[in-house]
Amino acid sequence: MNGHNPVKTFFAVAACRLTRWGLRVAHRGGTTLPGRSALLFDKKILEVVSQGMEIIVVTGTNGKTTTCSMLRNALQESGVDPLSNISGANLLTGITAEFTALATLSGKPKKHFAIVECDEGALKKVVPLIHPKVIVVTNLFRDQLDRYGEVMHTLEEIRTGVGLVPETTLCLNADCSLTSSLADGVPNSIFYYGIGKNAFSEKEEDVSSDLSDAKYCIHCGTEYEYDYHTYAHLGGFRCPKCGYKRAATNIEVSSIDKISPKGSDITVQFGNADSQAIHIGLPALYNIYNGIAAIGAYEAAGWKRSDITDSLGKVASSFGRMETFTYNNVDIQMILVKNPAGCNQSLSYLSSMDDDYVAVFCLNDKTADGHDISWIWDADFEKVATDENCKKIYVSGTRATDIRLRLKYAGANEDIITLIEDETKLLKAMTSHSLPVFALPNYTSMLSLRAVVGAATGKKEFWKDQK
């Protein structure tokens, strides 16, 4: 890197390390303050401490953390320990902290590979500094309207970031008309992934599509026609007027053979060449998308295919995303929800259960969540509210009364709904039924509930596993 000032680098790395050490001694998992400390000494320290590394960046509305977990697990299974922001601190400060803390005092990176989760709005600040080999864009949905505005604004934020790294390969979800449009007019190499039409049986295919954040063509405004839907606005879209349509894929899921609470069995077609049966160790359709995104990233990076395909069956749930705990001999599965599309998929997962269960909905409206929680009225809570297998519902969080009202209008029996504000009391109550528990919190409510559940079950906080 030209213009590298070794003195500034030394103090930036030292400040980052010292701040992180102090937070750990104080038993705090701070992820942004160390990065801020480093940036005080060198605004471009991230470029110094990432130089020469092979990096995959994952961005998009849903699936970032799980896709990164799949990629990280594949590298670890192959004997490589990558750098990764497993805390989910995906803004410039958090990413800077991870890279700087794992560099020598002269700024040389200690690791060669990195898997980075990046917030959509932060992409334009991060990628010009770390020069990733691949950027994966998972999908685009409405998310935190008071923070980003409509989905088109988020798309333009990503487009701006992509425009700053023309040498980077873009790995795009072909089924998302918004994500796919990032290929328009850019010099970057493009690698498309998706789920094919024939992957679904007639019963499984969501022909009607319950929700759409992209009904109209991004180029001419004409309403899309679909050959098939997977969910929301994802699927085989095409514009009858201007011809914009789902791109041909480099890889795609050609068959969804089985989805169960223990995982998913799929067949993946690699271009016009071979196909392969793959097991993903996480359930639900959206995790099939995460799996094919991870495979696509590996292929786009030119890394060894078998590392990712063999490891997906061993992938563990990531922090708060399908994470499973056992307390009082009761299984608790925590599923982060933060917008209508992701929430609908989680609700569909619950309503597909063959056995009785307890549902827990936690809703906060803090800054990290987005203060606008009106999205809950767009999510199909009827799927669980009217499900005979749902025997008890608990609600919690700063907007617990709102989620209780939403469930009432969804048709839930008010007698089975209980509001509990304290997470410790909530844990005891929701595990007093001897039924499996599915907790669906949004972001900050997940952090607080997970802290209580994790402490009670002996699971460490994410930062205690970091080196």
CATH number, domain of 80, equals 3.40.1190.10
User: Do 301 and 327 have their domain in common?
Assistant: no
348 part of a folded domain: yes
166 part of a folded domain: yes
φ, ψ (nearest 5 deg) of residue 277: -80, 130
Instruction: List the end-to-end C-alpha distance of the chain, in Å, as a whole number.
Output: 26
Burial of 411 (0-12, 13-18, 19+ CB in 10 A): exposed
- Please compute Rg for the chain using Cα positions: 22
From CA 440, how far away is CA 457, in angstroms rounded?
18
User: Do 301 and 343 have their domain in common?
Assistant: no
User: Do 364 and 283 have their domain in common?
Assistant: no
User: Do 216 and 186 have their domain in common?
Assistant: yes
User: Do 68 and 198 have their domain in common?
Assistant: yes
From CA 98, how far away is CA 53, in angstroms rounded?
14
Residues (pLDDT < 50) of the chain are 144-149, 203-209, 463-467
User: Do 173 and 190 have their domain in common?
Assistant: yes
Structurally, the chain folds into a number of domains equal to 2
Instruction: Print the SS3 string covering the chain.
Output: CCCCCHHHHHHHHHHHHHHHHHHHHCCCCCCCHHHHHHHHHCCCHHHHHCCCCEEEEEECCCCHHHHHHHHHHHHHHCCCCCEECCCCCCCHHHHHHHHHHCECCCCCECCCEEEEECCHHHHHHHHHHHCCCEEEECCCCCCCHHHHCCHHHHHHHHHHHHHCCCCCEEEEECCCHHHHHHHCCCCCCEEEEEECHHHCCCCCCCCCCCCCCCCECCCCCCECEEEEECCCCCEEEECCCCCCECCCCCEEEEEEEEEECCEEEEEEEECCCCEEEEEECCCCHHHHHHHHHHHHHHHHHCCCHHHHHHHHHHCCCECCEEEEEEECCEEEEEECCCCHHHHHHHHHHHHCCCCCEEEEEECCCCCCCCCCCHHHHCCCCHHHHCCCCEEEEEEECCCHHHHHHHHHHCCCCHHHEEECCCHHHHHHHHCCCCCCEEEEECHHHHHHHHHHHHHHHCCCCHHHHCC
Which of 296, 314, 332 is the endpoint of a domain?
Answer: 314
283 part of a folded domain: yes
pLDDT tens digits along 288-299: 999 999 999 999
User: Do 351 and 333 have their domain in common?
Assistant: yes
Q: Are 236 and 228 in contact (CB under 8 A)?
A: yes
From CA 86, how far away is CA 116, in angstroms rounded?
8
1 part of a folded domain: no
Which of 280, 314, 348 is the endpoint of a domain?
Answer: 314
φ, ψ (nearest 5 deg) of residue 44: -115, 30
From CA 306, how far away is CA 191, in angstroms rounded?
18
284 part of a folded domain: yes
Contacts with 43 (C-beta within 8 Å, 6 or more apart), sequence order:
none
From CA 171, how far away is CA 183, in angstroms rounded?
10
From CA 308, how far away is CA 286, in angstroms rounded?
18
**C-alpha torsion sign, points 210, 58, 337, 259:** positive
pTM: 0.86
231 part of a folded domain: yes
Domain that holds residue 383: 321-465
What CATH number should be reported for the domain holding residue 359?
A: 3.90.190.20
Largest distance between two CA atoms of the chain:
67
Residue 464: what pLDDT?
47
Between β-strands 263-270 and 235-238, what pairing exists: parallel, antiparallel or unpaired?
A: unpaired
Q: Which pair of structure tokens corresponds to residue 290?
A: 């995460």
User: Do 406 and 274 have their domain in common?
Assistant: no
User: Do 162 and 202 have their domain in common?
Assistant: yes
User: Do 286 and 376 have their domain in common?
Assistant: no
Which of 284, 314, 344 is the endpoint of a domain?
Answer: 314
From CA 421, how far away is CA 453, in angstroms rounded?
15
Q: Are 48 and 1 in contact (CB under 8 A)?
A: yes
pLDDT tens digits along 171-215: 999 999 999 999 999 999 999 999 999 998 654 444 444 556 788
User: Do 69 and 34 have their domain in common?
Assistant: yes
User: Do 257 and 293 have their domain in common?
Assistant: yes
From CA 303, how far away is CA 223, in angstroms rounded?
39
Residue 180: what pLDDT?
97
